[in-house]
Structure 1
Amino acid sequence: MHKNSSFLLTRLSKYLKSACRMLSTAENQHVLTKEVGDKAVIILNRPKSLNALGTILNRQLTESLRKCINEKSLIILKGAGDKAFSAGGDLLEVKAYFEDGQWKKLTELIVDLNINIYLIHTSKVPVIAFMNGITFGGGAGISSFATYKIATENTQFAMPESKIAFHPNSGGTYFLNRAKGRLGYYLGLTGNTLKGSDVFQAGFATHYCLSKNLETLEKAILYSSKQDSINEIIDDICERNIPDFSLAPVMDSINRCFAAPTVEDILKKLDEDGTDWAKKTVENLRKYSPTSLKVILRQLQKGRHFNLEECLVMESNLTVNFYHFPDVIEGTRTTLINKGEIAQWNPSRLESVTEELINQHFEESAGEEQRKMLRKLQINVNSKI
């Protein structure tokens, strides 16, 4: 072989190795941070997975949040792509940890996500969440604790865990209990989705902005002077004439039916309501895991007056404990994998769900690890992160 050919092959080999390393690095950048002077944009960067909050993303987000909260005057938080802010926790990753018996990794995933929620909640600088697209589960959790929460016509906001026989987590106990009337109980039990301006009207967003204006809003915020008011900038660009809340006609029914003390009583009141909305709600609830429904209602009732830390500890225990019972695996399988199959719940009827079974979901599991990490964060937040 000619020595020049050998030289070129060597150079090509080095280039390919370098390119592979760069590609590997890019693939592992689940969070991107863009700094603009004393402000920052943090981007959840898993668009193919709808920016699902897996282990790598959670830890990179913690690192980015810590740095930006300490060094910047403002943070914009958004998702990569135009489909999702975040579809929530990576359920397939959770399922894999469970099936491999990796309880430590499952616990760490839960704790790491909750650390980010707590960092956003306690941030000493404003955090502005652009809730464009799907904002489910953990994505709803992260956005709900931002200082400013910007919904668009594309926003889909939900805690849909009941649909897979799971429970609202990521601070859901806290913010669902602070929704108007019994709306949070309705959303937590049905898993229904709020869309567009309804997210604002329900109180889960502070502002409503057309998606075509988000880039203008971002630039206005990032390049504003210290004298400019963030409130005024956001108010000027966001919409003022917002459509009425689509659930307004049934809010009285929601408040009456979902104030009932048990799932059975909720279903009874819905049957008595007799409207098409009530009939559809009953039809959906009866498809869900009886155990999940009873645990979710107890979760919301127990956490009604909890602070965020207490909610996160309770939810950590619940999340791990749910995987000791069959329904969440069955729900994940029939919803995400073998779509369309009718789930076989165990137990299959509400009256078969005992108090003992409900209480087992609240037993100590990941809570102490969550408490330990929150205590560390509290010390750091009170001084310097």
Structure 2
Amino acid sequence: MSADVSIRQQGGLGRITLTRPSALHALNTPMCAAILEAVMRWAADPSIQLIWIDHQEGTRGFCAGGDIRMLAESGAGDASEARNFFRTEYRMNAALEAFPKPILALIDGVTMGGGVGLSVHGSHRVATERTVFAMPETGIGLFPDVGGGWFLPRLGGELGTWLALTGARLKGPDVAAARVATHYMPSELIPALAKQIEAADFSAGAAELLGEILARFAHAVPSGSFEAHRATIDRCFAFARAEDILAALDADASDWARTEAATLRAKSPETVKVALGQLRKGRAAETFEDNMRMEFRIGWRKVQSADFLEGVRAVIIDKDNAPVWKPARLEDVTEADVARYFAPLGADELTFAA
């Protein structure tokens, strides 16, 4: 058990509460291991009707991601600690995605990276006006993992490609409009929602009853602010080559497209190409586990990449926000540079056995 997460049974509820406020509840290996063990145990436990995931009351964030500093420090060495983290976290993601009962995640606050993987694969996801969603990994030379290759291409059109490559943030109701969340409600209603869930008997039809309870509190979701640019997103981000995406944005006459092109140019060129390949392969993947095996291959190598170590230096350690990417341009990243991240790992492949 980890001191950074509270795991307990409350009647028919399996409760998971993140309790690491000093790091905005960012995940570490012991947290992922504890959650994985609980989810696998609860899947076979008839006394558990649903899982409820939230963060410590009165603290900021939902989950800001993973322990990036640890990943970089490990990647600068033999990467064994980083790879163990990915192995544990990705198995946790797969266990949540395969869980045979409802999962309620209250993503009331910052929800990035690992926090997305902890919540988005469940059945019921509630956003509030305080929710900030992003997969910002291309800005530090990492990649949009934790199942990003699976869920991002399935948001519809090329919305997920735009989010993955640019690291764009969605806030409040936009998180539900993009279907990252299934429901939206003001945060002030969460205590009342919690009381009704705690008092409910989910022993007969848990998913239906949870849906009914959420419907009492959920507000109508307005059209997403990104919809004004949806046609441009779907047209410009549909290409198989990152260079063609950038060229399409450059050719567009709108200020929005010019801004997105500038944003894309600031990201790690190698990582942009790897992430694009990840999303295209993830869209074609037959199973979630196949996608996670692919992501583990990428993560195994990415934590030791020059761009990841440089991105962490620039954004997290020195905070000069001036990373020097190598190569510096999309055109200089070869197909072989990208393909090596997807190569099989042999005996080191990710497995999902208990």
Structure ranking higher on relative contact order (CA contacts 8 Å, 6+ apart): 2
Q: Within the alignment, does 1:271 sit opposite 2:250 as a pair? A: yes
Matching residue's letter, 1:171: G
Once residues 334 and 265 of structure 1 are traced to their aligned partners in structure 2, the CA distance between those partners, rounded to angstroms, is: 28
Cα shift at 1:174: 0.2
User: Which of 30, 37, 46 is equivalent to 2:11?
Assistant: 37
Within 5 Å, give how 1:134-145 maps onto structure 2: 134-145=110-121
RMSD: 1.7
Secondary structure at 2:260 match in 1: helix
Q: Which residue of 1 aligns with 2:179?
A: 203
Change (3 A) 1:85 1:249: same
Aligned to 1:251: 230
1:350 matched to which residue of 2? 330
Partner of 1:4: none
Q: CA deviation at 1:368?
A: 4.9
C-alpha distance in 2, partners of 1:232/1:84? 26
Q: Is the 8 A contact 2:7 2:35 kept in 1?
A: no
Question: What is the rounded CA distance, in whole Å, between the counterparts of 1:34 and 1:355 in structure 2?
Answer: 48
* TM-score of the pair, normalised by structure 2: 0.93
Distance 2:190 2:243 in 1: 44
Query: Whose radius of gyration is greater, 1 or 2?
Result: 1
Could you tell me how far apart the structure 2 residues matched to 1:221 and 1:320 are?
A: 40
Q: Give the SS at the match of 1:58.
A: helix
Over the matched positions of the two proteins, sequence identity in percent amounts to: 33
Question: Deviation string for 1:293-318 (max 9, x for gaps)?
Answer: 11111111122111211110111110
Q: Which runs of 5+ in 1 are unaligned?
A: 1-24, 378-385
For 1:278 and 1:76, the matched residues in 2 are separated by 39
Matches within 5 A, 1:224-373: 224-225=200-201, 226=203, 229-239=209-219, 241-306=220-285, 307-365=287-345, 368-372=347-351
Aligned to 1:383: none
Distance, in Å, in 1 between the alignment partners of 2:311 and 2:348 is 27
Cα distance change on mapping 1:341 and 1:182 into 2, 3 Å = closer
- Give 2:142's aligned amino acid: F
1:57 corresponds to 2:31: yes
* Length-normalised TM-score, structure 1: 0.86
1:132 CA drift (Å) = 0.8
- Displaced runs of 4+ in structure 1, greater than 6 A? none
Contact 2:96 2:122 in 1 (8 A): yes
Residues paired across the two proteins, number: 346
1:175-197 CA distance string (max 9 Å, x none): 00101210000001001111110
- CA distance in 2 between counterparts of 1:289 and 1:98 reads 17
| 1:286 counterpart SS class | helix
Provide the secondary structure at the position in 2 that maps to 1:32.
strand
In the alignment, which residue of structure 2 is the partner of 1:124?
100
Per-residue deviation, residues 341-367 of structure 1 (Å, max 9, x unmatched): 4111111122111111111121234x7
Aligned equivalents of 1:78, 1:369: Cα separation in 2:
33
C-alpha change, 1:227 and 1:286, in structure 2 (3 Å) is same
For the structure 1 residues 74 and 151, does the alpha-carbon distance in structure 2 shift closer, same or farther, using more than 3 Å as the test? same
Is the contact between residue 322 and residue 361 of structure 1 (CA under 8 Å) also seen in structure 2?
A: yes
The 8 Å contact of residues 53 and 105 in structure 2, kept in 1 or not, is answered as yes
**Aligned equivalent of 1:149:** 125
Q: In the alignment, is the contact (CA less than 8 A) between 1:312 and 1:370 conserved in 2?
A: no
2: distance between equivalents of 1:100 and 1:328?
13
| 2:129 alignment partner, SS class | coil
Aligned mates of 2:180, 2:61 — CA distance in 1: 16
Q: CA deviation at 1:231?
A: 1.1
Measure the CA separation in 2 of the matches of 1:320 and 1:332.
17
2:166 corresponds in structure 1 to 190
Residues 82 and 133 in structure 1, CA contact (< 8 A), matched pair in contact too: no
Distance (Å, rounded) in 2 between the aligned partners of 1:345 and 1:153: 35
The CA deviation at 1:141 is 1.4
Q: Aligned to 1:282, what secondary structure does the other structure show?
A: helix
Corresponding residue for 1:84? 61
Amino acid at match of 2:24: L
DSSP-derived class of the 2:44 partner: helix
The unaligned stretches of length 5 or more in structure 2 are none
